[in-house]
Amino acid sequence: MIDLRSDTVTRPTEAMRAAMAAAEVGDDVYGEDPTVRALEEHVAGLFGHEAALFMPTGSMANVLAVAAVVAPGQEVLCEARAHIARAELGAHGAVSGLTMRTWSHPRGQVDLAALGELFAPDLGPYFVQTAALSVENTHNFAGGAVLPLADLQALRAFADERGVAVHLDGARIWNAHVATGTPLSSYGAVADVMSVCLSKGLGAPVGSLMLGSAEHIAGARVRRKRLGGGMRQVGILAAAGRHALDHHVERLADDHAHARLLAEAVGADPAGVDTNILAFEVADAPSYVARAREAGVLVGAVGATTIRAVTHLDVSRDDAERAAKILGSL
């Protein structure tokens, strides 16, 4: 089976398992796990942020990052298909007591005109106050679309003019970096708080980080424990993440090439494939998924007529070519 359902289905490589086995560990709630601390410092440094906090999941990293800049009763503005709005099961409202309003863009992009309409300054006891703007790069449900740096910088200026924060969901920021050559520090500079994921395209079994100022991270450390996210000898997991960062970032270019190959095979426009996610239309998605499975390829249905295929570390060139043939013939 060639599994193209998601870039989360990867398994740790032998070298990654060796790095995990060799990791020096300590109690992370006491701040004594050297491998976790080194990972946090390293990743904060990559993005030019003061500090970082290791988390079990990207959802937890987003929940704590947004809560660092939006108080209960305030709102964050985001794109309608953002992961924070759709895929975190209402945690930002249920756990953090904040609300959201959204703008819609077919490619998940920044829309300053829409933001200008939505933005609510402090109007006293009449309206919910906007405290932060959130963007996702790459945008998962918009087919792995990259948000251009110039647009993010314009969003940063918009936020600065109004005195509000920017949150960046950077679960796949590595893909954006490799696809465009934009330095990670340039992405980091547009965000007050952000999240990055080590277990999507990078292939670690678990792990995300929240990044921000030392003060944001100190607050998040308290909230992480409150949520039951205080972890102990997790250097064993941080070591997998560090290995992924050191060995699996540049190779994302292969995943992007494989996704374009699949796009050509199914007659989609390869120019619409920015990174490792391909969405394409079929007559009947559930039936297409079943026929692809019979032929040896797992893909996902993300609507009645839309198929999603995602390339990753465990899809070789040979696999991609074979999958292209099979999906093309369907």
Ligand X SMILES: *Cc1c(COP(=O)(O)O)cnc(C)c1O
Query: Which residues of this protein are in contact with ligand X, per CB under 6 A?
Result: 57-59, 62, 83, 136, 140, 169, 171, 197, 200, 208
Residue closer to ligand X by CB (options 200, 242) is 200
Q: Considering all CA atoms of the chain, what is the largest pairwise distance in Å, rounded to the nearest integer?
A: 61
d(CA 89, CA 123): 29
Residue entry with tokens 């929240």: 210
Bridge partners, 5 (sequence order): none
Query: H or E segment at 43?
Result: helix 34-47
Task: Name the minimum Å distance from CB 183 to ligand X.
Answer: 21
Task: Name the minimum Å distance from CB 59 to ligand X.
Answer: 3
Residue closer to ligand X by CB (options 89, 214) is 89
Task: Name the minimum Å distance from CB 128 to ligand X.
Answer: 24
Task: Name the minimum Å distance from CB 169 to ligand X.
Answer: 5
Q: Give residue 194's Cα distance to chain centre.
A: 10
- How many Cα neighbours within 13 Å face the side chain of 214? 1
With the CA atoms of 172, 173, 176 and 180 taken in that order, what torsion angle do they form, in degrees rounded to the nearest 10?
Answer: -160
Residue closer to ligand X by CB (options 180, 208) is 208
Q: How many CB atoms lie within 10 A of CB 157?
A: 12
Q: Which residue's C-beta sits nearest to ligand X?
A: 58
Let me know: does 205 contact 12? Beta carbons within 8 Å. yes
Residue closer to ligand X by CB (options 59, 180) is 59
Please give the structure tokens belonging to residue 296.
């040896």
Bridge partners, 209 (sequence order): 54, 196
d(CA 20, CA 17): 5
Residue closer to ligand X by CB (options 198, 282) is 198
Task: Name the minimum Å distance from CB 100 to ligand X.
Answer: 15
Residue closer to ligand X by CB (options 169, 192) is 169
- How many Cα neighbours within 13 Å face the side chain of 229? 22
d(CA 181, CA 312): 19
Task: Name the minimum Å distance from CB 203 to ligand X.
Answer: 14
Residue closer to ligand X by CB (options 62, 130) is 62
The pairing of beta strand 208-212 with beta strand 193-197: antiparallel
Task: Name the minimum Å distance from CB 131 to ligand X.
Answer: 20
